Amino acid sequence: MWFRVDNRLIHGQVIEGWLPYTGARHLVVVNDALAADFLRQQIMSLAVSRHVQVHFIPLSDLTAVLAACGDDTFVLFENCQDVGTAAKGGVRIPVLNIGNIHYTEGRHQIYPHVALSDEDMDMLRSLVRTQHTELDFRAVPSQKIRPPHVQLF
């Protein structure tokens, strides 16, 4: 099972890089707004191989969907807050790939592709402390694994 934060959700890096890298047969997109937007779901689904089953779900359904899909699942979150909510709800996240979070005012540019708010950093610290989650700051699988930025911890 692979967990990723990417505010773009389904896009080329996920489809061409991460899905083949993980071998996942299920792509679970956890996003309350997208779970209610059938048109956006249809558009995003067009880009995914027919060999991968795509699930667009609200955060509240994550535990049940993960139990049904099994270990060959790629879970995609739009933001760190949803990851924190999932973890508090009992979802075990051994490794969290932080792939892309755009810079906005109030965020700290940690890597070229990752900007985190203070709340994001608090949540990640909590995951590391409580679940011993390994943080993986890579945009694509071929990148060298980057350790957490020194300011984060």
Evaluate the CA torsion angle 44, 66, 101, 142 in order and state its sign. Answer: negative
Q: What is the CATH number of the domain that holds 54?
A: 3.40.35.10
pTM (2 d.p.)? 0.92
Is 132 a member of any domain?
Answer: yes
> Domain range for residue 60?
2-71+80-101+117-136
| pLDDT(151) > 80 | no
Q: What is the pLDDT of residue 144?
A: 85
Q: Do the beta carbons of residue 135 and residue 96 sit within 8 Å?
A: yes
Encoding tokens for residue 43?
Answer: 């558009």
State the chain's maximal CA–CA distance in angstroms.
41
Residue 85 lies in a domain: yes
Provide the number of structural domains found in the chain: 1
Of 9-23, 96-110, 134-148, the range with the lowest mean pLDDT is 134-148
In a domain, 46, yes or no: yes
Kindly state whether residue 124 falls inside one of the protein's structural domains. yes
**Residue 153 within a domain:** no
Q: pLDDT tens digits for 38-96?
A: 999 999 999 999 999 999 999 999 999 999 999 999 999 999 999 999 999 999 999 99
DSSP 8-state secondary structure symbol assigned to residue 18: I
Q: Does residue 107 form part of some domain?
A: no
State the pLDDT at residue 6.
96
Q: How far apart are CA 8 and CA 102, in angstroms?
A: 9
Q: What is the pLDDT of residue 87?
A: 97
List CB contacts of 50: < 8 A, sequence separation 6 or more: none
